[in-house]
Amino acid sequence: MKKKIGIIGSGISGLSASIRLSNMGYQVEVFEANDYPGGKLTSFKLGEYRFDAGPPLFTMPAYVDELFYICKENPRDFFNYKKKDIICKYYWQDGKRLTAYSEKDKFFDEVYSEFGVSKKVLNSYLDKAKKKYDLTSDLFLKKSLHKLNTFLSFKTIKALSKLSIFEIGKTLSEVNESILKEPHLVQFYNRYATYNGSSPYSTPGIMTVIQHLESHYGTYIPEGGMHNITKSLYDLARRNGVKFNFNNFVNEIILKKNKAVGLLVEGKKLPFDTVVSNMDIYPTYKKLMPKIKLPNNIKNQERSSSAVIFYWGLSKSFKDLDLHNIFFSKNYRDEFDSIFNKKNIYKDPTIYINITCKEVPTDSPKNCENWFVMINTCADSGQNWDLEVKKLREIVLKRLEDNLGESISPFIEQEKIFTPKTIEERTKSYKGSLYGSSSNGLFSAFLRHPNFSSKIKNLYFCGGSVHPGGGIPLCLLSAKITTELINKS
């Protein structure tokens, strides 16, 4: 008889775990409190405008394709995407602009033309980032950091023998300043700390691996938008026998003699041989296992950044903008000090704009655009978000209008706003943090909760709040690590 596995949550990691476990021969059932799958990776409409609600950046699509291949399906029959020629457009308040091309030599030429930094310097910088990734990917991203056999390997010994290359004694910003020097380019590469909700002035220098991933693998856009990742994986899971239960709120993980034996769902006890939580690790303990002491590393660990997001349907087209656009603050250090130390919204924030209709024309009416406007903020700690949003909206509109030299506010005909509080309500992410805990520390990777419980048998975890971290590629890897641990148990 097949072993029964219950999964809490249908975020991208929960979907991936369900596919892998079903493919391994388990009987899999998923419980989702919302009436849709995907967690943060979902979609909604405002009038004739469609918006991706959550993460707008798609890299390393091979991790999605792999899920189709293990099920003996051709991903191109169900899920397609294209590589972007332009990764992102960048704007500074002093008038400087940079187009980050995916073709490396073209990007190098652009950087030299705009900032005078040579191809040799950039090539050396990115080559070193690649070496960091090659030495650490198996250890930090593809296996459990909390199993002894992960460290008993030739690759680990090789990585440790080259410890100096990781620059763990420096922050990401210190590494960038020492090598790149040019302030605009330093800010450009410091931005990659936000990919895991951290500060470039605190996260260690090893984090240059993130810019390697984007520059080496590029960025992509799925046909139909980001929500098609969720839709495709949900359909794949169903074709492979996974049962989904929506509008089903899990009340408790049922424990018996330090062993997970089932779930209490809407007051009904359901037995399972193994339980996997794709829910944020903090509420998994606090709400689903209230009698189990919350581990100190979860209790005390700094939350990652959150965001305020404006979804604007604009009855106007902006030809200079692309799919991804960044408008930098003047003082990056002060901005991150506000986010992580002062816990308030910075007066001159960096602004990210994603416009999917640039690639998916049906996402907005003709000659109109759907703007996903995101500002990184602190996680929720009781702020008056209604008041903060009102002030922030005025700041963002003025900044964008000044930088673009065009009016925006008269053309907003649809609007929806998410705050850290909204994000927590929708996704159950503790305090609305986008990536669980931050990576603002030398040992932050080791402090993330493992993909299994060392005290409760048959209980496992996957998703952005546990190892190896947040973002689509890491969430997919988290599911892979978790399911491999289950299959070996």
pLDDT one-digit tens code per residue, 366-395: 999 999 999 999 999 999 999 999 999 999
**Which range (43-57, 82-96, 157-171, 472-486) has the least confidence?**
157-171
The C-alpha atoms of residue 450 and residue 300 are separated, in whole angstroms, by 16
Q: What is the pTM of this model?
A: 0.92
The C-alpha atoms of residue 8 and residue 119 are separated, in whole angstroms, by 48
Encoded amino acid at 95, one letter: G
Tens of pLDDT, residues 338-355: 999 999 999 999 999 999
Residue 255 pLDDT exceeds 80 = yes
Contacts 24+ apart (CB under 8 A), 442-448: 442/168, 442/204, 444/198, 444/203, 444/301, 445/140, 445/145, 445/469, 446/145, 447/297, 447/301, 448/145
Report the chain's terminal Cα–Cα distance, integer Å: 17
Which superfamily does CATH assign the domain made up of 4-41+58-65+223-295+449-488 to? Answer: FAD/NAD(P)-binding domain (3.50.50.60)
Average pLDDT over residues 146-167: 50
> For residues 200-233, b (16+ Cβ closer than 10 Å) or e, as one string?
bbbbbbbbbbbbbbbbeebbbbbebbbbbbbbbb
Encoded amino acid at 61, one letter: P
Residue 154 pLDDT exceeds 50 = no
- From-to residues of CATH 3.50.50.60 in the chain: 4-41+58-65+223-295+449-488
251 touches 63 (CB < 8 A): no
DSSP state of 281: H
Q: What are phi and psi of 43, to 5 degrees?
A: -140, 155
The C-alpha atoms of residue 7 and residue 22 are separated, in whole angstroms, by 12
Residue 41: CB partners within 8 Å, gap ≥ 6?
11, 12, 52, 53, 54, 55, 226, 227, 229, 230, 472
pLDDT at 148: 43
Residue 442 pLDDT exceeds 60 = no
The C-alpha atoms of residue 470 and residue 42 are separated, in whole angstroms, by 16
pLDDT at 445: 52
